[in-house]
Structure 1
Amino acid sequence: MSQISNAIATRDNGPAAVVEQYRSDLALVMPSHLQARVGAWIRNTQGLLRRDEKLMEAAQNDVGQFIAVLMDAGRLGLEPGTEQYYLVPRWNKKKRATEVTGVRGYQGEIELMYRAGAVSSVVVEVVRDNDNFQFRPGRDERPIHDIDWDLTAEQRGDLRLVYAYAVMKDGATSKVVVLNKGHIAKARSKSDSANKDWSPWNTDEESMWMKTGAHRLAKWVPTSAEYMREQLRAKADIATEQRPMTLPVSIPLPAPGSVDTNDEGPIDAEFVDEP
């Protein structure tokens, strides 16, 4: 049993109560922009448990696992139970019970890209059968995607493609990622819970397509705040290198014959205590 599970064993085993007990630990791992609203973050999580019986059951089966998932969401600065970070009950074969696992959503992937500070905008969009989509790598900088917004999603047709790209701060376009049904099927096959009714692959399929596209884009775009710190350090180093050197002040030499040759040089000083 993990250390966090041992600690919980001696406490109230109710997941909602345990989340409150770990308030200070969650705040400690959160980015600064979330620390001020850790109370609301915790209340939203407790609300999720009250509204979703399957999630509550999975959290009760292994409260330590549930807290570990929340710690991961908090460390990333993402909201659990949203399209930033899904809380998903997953069947654990060894425990023969469901437990809570965390799945980063497409909005979470995008949030991490923005927070790194390298991009000015991120585009992630699905293409349906009746949309007009054109993109030729090497010729087109960005995809051309025409959508008839008067149509519903069903009228636009089945999901066909998903694409993602970022516009960097300097105006350049990142690598454009385009995934088809085969790519999505391969990504879905790696999910243990994809065939479950409560899986986001079944409850919110379009979002999972977008999540897959955003996740693939993350390989080409900085998603860590460490990137911004490296940029700031680089700028500081450049500023130091470009700082003008201070030249020594030129002292004029005395005119010939103006030097007192009887000068015996400096006199040794003596420190005297004042009365």
Structure 2
Amino acid sequence: MTGQTIGNAVAVRDNGPGALVAAHRADIELVMPSHMQARVGAWIRTTQGLLRRDEKLLEAAQNDVGQFMSVLLDAARLGLEPGTEQYHLVPRWNKKKRCTEITGVRGYQGEIELMYRAGAVSSVIVEVVRQRDGFKYRPGRDERPEHDIDWDLSLEERGDLRIAYAYAVMKDGATSKVVVLNKGHIAKARAKSDSANGKYPHLSPWNTDEEAMWLKTAAHRLTKWVPTSAEYIREQLRAKAEVDAEQQPAPFPAGPLPQPFDSSEPDDEAIEAEFVDDETGEVRS
């Protein structure tokens, strides 16, 4: 282990950003979805491991630990793993501060995970089309794209990326809107990326894994048409509960219960009255 590596390990363990992550375990666990809370320890160790392995990442985290924790809390709130295809941690140059800081970039697997977690879809398809692939989709006529791949060809033989597309199959079997993006769409998305155009573009996932970012861009566009929040499930359950309540018979009004019928009592009771004899005018009881 080199002196610099040892120094990085100490910074992570003793008083650096890695130690700060461990110290804020309760805050991280608090914002995490319930299904992730049992794994919070592994989640923190994974994040600390990223800092040990990547000197640029550690330096950016040390420059602004508040920004670093904000990014981590965002990943935790979404229930995504930092430093994976779910959620990238990328150093970004801040012109005002004149230093690098950490920014978070959702990966395509993170976008897909959020769609599945919302509970509205049974499957999500996100693919890229290369130059020698066959691709056909006619909006309004085709329910889903036709994508033909010659699996005997390597990625290089299949050619450059030319299209990314995404769609979801909903729980009721219907197909969501189909998103199709060409090179122009992808170029516009890349131009808006801080990480791709900052001081360290070589660290951006746009340059380290271009195909993944094409997939992410298509998946992100699909989120406009497919629920990505657990709030969807709660709304569906609430609506179902309201419909079920409307279909239930009205409850019997509160008050004294009716007396049971007793066949031993006479059907009619005598009623006292006075009768007037029309001829004599005499009143008789």
TM-score in terms of structure 1 length: 0.86
- The aligned residue for residue 207 of structure 2 is 202
The residue matched to 1:210 in structure 2 has which SS? helix
Distance 1:83 1:119 in 2: 21
The residue matched to 2:105 in structure 1 has which SS? strand
**Equivalent residue in structure 2 for 1:40, among 42, 45, 69:** 42
Identity of aligned residues (%): 76
Is residue 2:88 matched to residue 1:83? Answer: no
- The aligned residue for residue 144 of structure 2 is 142
**Equivalent residue in structure 1 for 2:238, among 224, 233, 242:** 233
Contact kept in structure 2, 1:201 and 1:208, CA below 8 Å: yes
- The aligned residue for residue 6 of structure 1 is none
Distance 1:34 1:247 in 2: 45
- The aligned residue for residue 22 of structure 1 is 24
The residue matched to 1:37 in structure 2 has which SS? helix
Distance 2:230 2:166 in 1: 21
Matched AA of 1:102? G
- The aligned residue for residue 98 of structure 2 is 96
Is residue 2:131 matched to residue 1:126? Answer: no
Is residue 2:248 matched to residue 1:243? Answer: yes
Distance 2:192 2:15 in 1: 32
**Equivalent residue in structure 2 for 1:74, among 73, 76, 90:** 76
- The aligned residue for residue 228 of structure 2 is 223
Distance 1:220 1:128 in 2: 25
Is residue 2:213 matched to residue 1:211? Answer: no
Distance 1:245 1:145 in 2: 55
Larger Rg: 2
Distance 1:144 1:253 in 2: 77
Distance 1:184 1:252 in 2: 81
Contact kept in structure 2, 1:13 and 1:60, CA below 8 Å: no
The residue matched to 2:202 in structure 1 has which SS? coil
Contact kept in structure 2, 1:123 and 1:165, CA below 8 Å: yes
Q: Which runs of 5+ in 2 are unaligned?
A: 1-13, 272-285
Seen in structure 2, the aligned counterparts of structure 1 residues 132 and 43 have a Cα distance that, compared at 3 Å, is: same
Q: Which runs of 5+ in 1 are unaligned?
A: 1-11, 263-275
Distance 1:57 1:44 in 2: 17
Is residue 2:160 matched to residue 1:158? Answer: yes
- The aligned residue for residue 276 of structure 2 is none
Aligned-pair distance for 1:187?
0.3
TM-score in terms of structure 2 length: 0.83
Contact kept in structure 2, 1:116 and 1:223, CA below 8 Å: yes
- The aligned residue for residue 33 of structure 2 is 31
Aligned-pair distance for 1:192?
1.9
The residue matched to 1:36 in structure 2 has which SS? helix
- The aligned residue for residue 109 of structure 1 is 111
